[in-house]
Structure 1
Amino acid sequence: MSTAYVVVTLLAAAMAGFSAAALLLRATWVVQPLVEYGVPRSWWNLLGAAKAAGAVGLVAGLFVPFLGVMAGAGLVLYFAGAVVTVVRARSYAHIPFPLLYAAPAAGALVLGLAA
């Protein structure tokens, strides 16, 4: 296990965990765009839980590599869905935000597969 893999994985887990907490705690800067994008409020807890599970899975993947790969793949798919949601809402200026969170998750996935 390389140092780069550990650092990128912990960064991705921290970012996903922060994003999950912000959504679950209903931070205005997170939920207001969701309302604008048309994401139903009934989905918010599930979306927050998915990000939290991805964060936990990435950390667990440091000890059980298969879990880390699955968590990384799940987070990449999650944030790809977020990009699609932003594009469908025609909020093109917001596209960088889910990509910012997807990048370390993708990096953790790639490094996990390479390990």
Structure 2
Amino acid sequence: MFIATIVISLFLAVSLSFSAVGKLTKNPKVIPIMEHVGVSPDKIAWLAYIEILGAVGLVVGLFAWPVGVAAALGVILYFAGAVVAHLRVKDTAGIGPAAFLAVVAIVTFFLRILSS
């Protein structure tokens, strides 16, 4: 079960890292979506930093069980907020990636708990 935990945790960490890079480099595909769901431009970098912290926590959590659990829980909350932000503006077309990563974070959380 720990191999699955490693694979899923690393997948989620890489996904968070790519998402953070898109925000920090002001990728023209990312910024309009963020603004559409109501994120002010001065807060976008903070969301990227949160994603980076989540990615680091997931990787460190492979060696320190409580850190992995906490990081996975934080990522669940982050993407739950993203899903709510998309729903709030009725952006059903753009909710997919956030919902998918929320589910991956939930799976990561339970795998991390089960492989303690």
TM interval, short-chain normalised: over 0.9
Which residue number corresponds to residue 96 of structure 1? 96
- Number of residue equivalences: 115
Which residue number corresponds to residue 113 of structure 1? 113
1:18 and 2:22 correspond: no
1-structure distance, mates of 2:17, 2:101: 10
Report Cα offsets for 1:52-98 as digits up to 9, x if no partner.
10000000001111111111000110000000000111111111120
2-structure distance, mates of 1:106, 1:24: 25
Give unpaired runs (5+ residues) of structure 1.
none
1:55 and 2:55 correspond: yes
Q: Greater helix share, 1 or 2?
A: 1
Deviation at 1:36, TM superposition (A): 1.5
TM-score normalised per structure 2: 0.93
TM-score normalised per structure 1: 0.94
TM alignment of 1:61-100, pairs within 5 A: 61-100=61-100
CA RMSD in angstroms comes to 1.1
